[in-house]
Structure 1
Amino acid sequence: MGAGARPVAGAGRRDGGAVTGAPAAVRRGGAPAAPGAAAPLGRSLARAAALTAGLTAAGALGGLLRDQTLARLFGAGGATDAFLVAWTVPETAATLLIEDGMALLLVPAFSRALAARAAAPGSRDADADPVRALLSATLPRLCAALAGGSALLAAGAPLLVRLLAPGLADPAAAVDCTRLTALTVLTFGVAGYLSAALRAHRSFAAPAAIYVAYNLTIIGTMLALHARWGVRAAAAGVALGGALIVAVQLPSSVRALPRPRLRRAVPGGTAGLPVAGLLAPVVCFAVGRQAQVLVERFLASGLPAGAISHLNYAQKVAQMPMVLSLMLCTVTFPVVARAVADGEAARAGRRAVRDLTLAGLVVLLGAAYVAACAPQITGVLFERGAFTAADTAATAAVMRVYALGLLGHTLAGALIRPFFAAGRPTWYPAGAMAAGLLVTAGAGLPAARCWGAPGLAAANAAGITTTAVLLLHGLGTRVVAAPVRRIATGLGRLAVAAAAAVAVGGPLAALPADPLLGAAAGALLVPAVFAGTALAVRAPEVRHLLVVVKGKLAHAR
């Protein structure tokens, strides 16, 4: 689907067949659906998933190039640590304003407004249009609040740096960088709002392209200004990149969204959706999730210089399987929210469970490769310029530990969506996240003293896994009638396959002296061992995937 596309055919109907792959009449027991009634939605989802996958992969590649450029120009020392403390601001803003927070609030809100518009087609161009009312009620106030937040962060940068990293070697550079990155509170917030609105309208190209534009802008700014500004050039790139991700979405937003009317703004939401009531639990969950990184950097600031950098480089590479695994959930979340808005909770639950198992399959395969080939991956990506062999060894050690928590991070990202799809306030996810954060903080202090940066990564993995377990339990008891035990058993079998792939692939990938050859060998060995072991332990997801692939190939012939 191209940028700025309108809602696909059938978006205003209660077609469920394309979401689960079964005919609507079979599931509901009613009369057969009209030929092709569900197919447009299914085809549109497939196109949107493919488009989003491509742009997500391009954005992830841009992120790797950005980190490679940072490592080559500045290495993993005190200057990079200073920038990464300031980087906490856009990282937190991305989680709160683009990914978790804004999406969880506004995708259901716009889905409810679109459902209300579909129920009264004549309201589309009228002042009573629910979508226009939602825009009028939320966008102007949001922009004013975000602008104030950016100004407050810029003014309080010295205090923020002292709170985040009291043991930092170069606080002055961190303060300068923080004042530049504070602009992302405004730009990321507007970008996240537009992304949520466009996805609810089934327009995915522009939201998926934002990280491509963002990372390329940072890279270009660092290359152009590093000789004059030092590490502050990276912060300037972040500020410019934030402005660009708003500009990338403006043309699609102008085409897809009605113009808000300020005089008709109604506080608290529209279409019966309590946006204000949802704000606190969503914000608490998103901030709690990002606080894991804050705890890491706070504790790492007391370790030798470079520890924050090693944690950052390892995390950025290790989380790539998670980003790719959650891509499907990003595309289907508007479908889940719209199904709930249309009163089809069972269809929403089936879609959520299916997304969960597919995300687990992808992330465990990726985690196996990261754990098996961490030294080779780090050497290929970063070991040049100011990034030394010692930095490679330290980063790879952290990366292998991070891989243990990737399933937990993915499950937390996938499970949170069903909790808020109905647009009803619930504090359970925030409580689960708080429990995980307590584990991270409680284990992080002694782990850092004993094992340094890898100990902090282990505490992070333990904390997010705790959250994921609690959310999975709550999915079956509070949200949908999900087969939690069956899901857990399937994920456990996939984890066994991942462990076998690491045990076999890791030593073999270490045999070649050239890290590129080792990484390539691992890319062949790890998936093969993973698939063979998964079939041997009867992991249903792998068997189902192979059946689907064989069917597609047979159909193509």
Structure 2
Amino acid sequence: MTLISRIAGFARDMLQATLFGTGGAMSAFIVAYRIPNFLRRVFAEGSMAMAFVPVLNEIKERGDRAALKSFIDAMAGALCAVVLVVCALGMLAAPLIARLFAPGWADQPELLAQTAQMLRITFPYLLFISLMSLSGSILNSHGRFALPAFTPVLHNLTMIAAMLWLAPRFEVPPVGLAWGVLIAGFLQLALLWPALGRLGLRPRLRPGFGHAEVRKVGRLMLPTLFSSSVAQVNLIVGTAFASLLAAGSVDWLYYSDRLIEFPLGLFGVALGTVILPHLSRRHAAEDAAGYSQSLDWAIRMALLAGVPAGLGLLLLAEPITATVFNYGAFDARDTRMAAISLTAMSLGVPAFMLSKVLAPAFYARQDTRTPMRAAIWTVGANVGLTVLLTTPLWLYDVPGAHGGIALATALAGVVNAWLLWRYLRRRGLFQPQPGWRLYLARLVGACAAMALVVLAVRGWVGDWTAIAGVWDRIGWLALAIAAGAGAYGIAIVGLGLRPRHLRH
């Protein structure tokens, strides 16, 4: 389901780049879309889910069905009440928020006004998506993974429909995309709500701020408000800096991030989604050995997918960008600029993926303070690195200065993963299983084989932007990826890795 979602996401991004290009009102939409998306990670997929799932599983393990239903009702009502207030404040303060997150547009009042207008449309999306995420967490905790994983597909299809039918009806077409975001949130919630009814757990929205378990979730959630959304905080920081750079910088970073999200969503988020309830059950059962073994398995799987994914994105940055986006209003210069930031950001893919499985290791133990400490250091490192790397490029007007922002984001991701791993080891929560040196040697050897094959295919094809037809580009890119993946698979099997080594 996640694979289908990412393919639909590529179709959506390709259409968006082709129809709207970069700069102007499209940049305003990207900012207006990123802010509620950032809050979504706080109130929905990130902070709330990480605090909610362990408490939900704790009650579920006791076997008290009435207590479980009471907790879900109280939690849903409290979440709804809080998010409604946040949405109202966001809509009222939209002009101020636009200036805060796009300071470089201070001398472009029309662009700021468009951003504020679209923010007022996209902010209520937060309510629907927060309740949808709560519903998805309940379904995941009962072993129902497919339907929640399908909801992003619905989001992408709705956005495609908005581009084709809604956007042309507006004087400023990206405003239609903002309405598409809101409609998508409603449809995603509508998809999951009946599934909760079939489990007998459809929430009644009764704000239960005094409920003991809701208060426990609140205590756990407060530190995670920051830590679970560190990647989004870094993106918001990058967006603010990008607004100071050349026109189109916000868009180039956005499209690079969308490509980075493919492997993260396909493997990283999927691993994190599955491992959190599993680790929380091992912790509840006081099974320290099982907890450590599960974490060891998840780390190996994250590296097995993350290292070649990051390397592949780095080696094929321009071919991928050209194949997916270089049509219509998105020209060859946009392709080169987006490829610069994709190349830099791809260095952080293995670390981003590791963080997706390392952070849940703490949340499963209801420890939300440790990831918060790591997040504070990470965001500090990101801001410092962004200033250090980007300022000289900006001052000397170097083309591609936004690449400094992307590199800072990647390096900050490495800092975050390293800190989380270090905290786990220092506390004795993670004991690596035997065979790690051999595993890493096999991984490096397979990646070297993959790189040689991919570079050979890329050198053979030459300039991807010079390939005229979309199907020709797709064909050559598919060949490069298939050849690289085949070389990686053959090499890693040839070096002795077998499916039994990957079973938990």
The answer to whether TM tops 0.5 is yes
Alignment of 1:94-243 (within 5 A): 94-117=40-63, 123-124=64-65, 129-168=66-105, 169=108, 170-229=111-170, 230-243=173-186
The CA deviation at 1:105 is 1.2
In 2, distance between residues paired with 1:495 and 1:368? 11
Question: Structure 2 vs 1, CA of residues 443 and 266 (structure 1 numbering), >3 Å: closer, same or farther?
Answer: closer
1:238-296 per-residue CA deviation (whole Å, 9 max, x = no partner) reads 1111111110100111121435578895725439x922220111112023331100110
Pair 1:279-2:237 in alignment: no
In 2, distance between residues paired with 1:187 and 1:346? 39
Which residue in 1 is equivalent to 2:265? Answer: 323
In 1, distance between residues paired with 2:44 and 2:204? 24
The CA deviation at 1:457 is 0.7
The CA deviation at 1:205 is 2.2
Contact 1:437/1:464, CA 8 A, preserved across alignment = no
Secondary structure of the equivalent of 2:17?
A: helix
Runs (4+) off by over 6 Å: 261-264, 546-549
Partner residue of 1:466 out of 400, 415, 422: 415
In 1, distance between residues paired with 2:416 and 2:128? 30
Partner residue of 2:4 out of 58, 76, 82: 58
Q: TM-score, normalised by structure 2?
A: 0.89
Pair 1:525-2:466 in alignment: no
In 2, distance between residues paired with 1:427 and 1:527? 39
- Tell me the percent identity: 27
Please report the RMSD computed on the Cα atoms of aligned residues, expressed in angstroms.
2.5
Question: Structure 2 vs 1, CA of residues 305 and 487 (structure 1 numbering), >3 Å: closer, same or farther?
Answer: farther
Contact 1:269/1:276, CA 8 A, preserved across alignment = no
Contact 1:137/1:268, CA 8 A, preserved across alignment = yes
Question: Structure 2 vs 1, CA of residues 498 and 453 (structure 1 numbering), >3 Å: closer, same or farther?
Answer: farther
Q: TM-score, normalised by structure 1?
A: 0.81
Query: Residue 331 of structure 2 aligns to which amino acid in structure 1?
Result: T
Query: Residue 337 of structure 1 aligns to which amino acid in structure 2?
Result: S
Contact 2:41/2:47, CA 8 A, preserved across alignment = yes
Secondary structure of the equivalent of 1:407?
A: helix
Which residue in 1 is equivalent to 2:389? Answer: 447
Contact 1:300/1:448, CA 8 A, preserved across alignment = no
1:429-471 per-residue CA deviation (whole Å, 9 max, x = no partner) reads 1111221211111111232232511111110011110010111
In 2, distance between residues paired with 1:530 and 1:70? 33
Pair 1:407-2:350 in alignment: yes
Which structure 1 segments of 5+ residues have no match?
A: 1-54, 118-122, 550-557
Q: Which has the higher mean CA deviation after the structures are superposed, 389-398 or 282-291?
A: 282-291
Which residue in 2 is equivalent to 1:346? Answer: 289
Partner residue of 2:194 out of 246, 251, 257: 251
Query: Residue 8 of structure 2 aligns to which amino acid in structure 1?
Result: G
The CA deviation at 1:343 is 2.6
Contact 2:121/2:182, CA 8 A, preserved across alignment = yes
The CA deviation at 1:484 is 8.6
Pair 1:545-2:494 in alignment: no
Question: Structure 2 vs 1, CA of residues 352 and 438 (structure 1 numbering), >3 Å: closer, same or farther?
Answer: same
Question: Structure 2 vs 1, CA of residues 488 and 236 (structure 1 numbering), >3 Å: closer, same or farther?
Answer: farther
Secondary structure of the equivalent of 2:460?
A: coil
Q: For this pair of structures, how many residues does the alignment match?
A: 480
In 1, distance between residues paired with 2:130 and 2:441? 38
In 1, distance between residues paired with 2:427 and 2:210? 29
The CA deviation at 1:490 is 4.4
In 2, distance between residues paired with 1:310 and 1:411? 25
In 1, distance between residues paired with 2:231 and 2:187? 26
In 2, distance between residues paired with 1:162 and 1:531? 49
Secondary structure of the equivalent of 2:328?
A: coil
Which structure 2 segments of 5+ residues have no match?
A: 394-399, 468-472
In 2, distance between residues paired with 1:206 and 1:245? 10
Contact 2:77/2:207, CA 8 A, preserved across alignment = no
In 1, distance between residues paired with 2:448 and 2:406? 19
Pair 1:398-2:341 in alignment: yes
The CA deviation at 1:492 is 7.3
In 2, distance between residues paired with 1:461 and 1:160? 26
Contact 2:76/2:205, CA 8 A, preserved across alignment = no
The CA deviation at 1:485 is 10
Which residue in 1 is equivalent to 2:470? Answer: none
In 1, distance between residues paired with 2:435 and 2:174? 49
Pair 1:476-2:425 in alignment: yes
Which residue in 2 is equivalent to 1:33? Answer: none
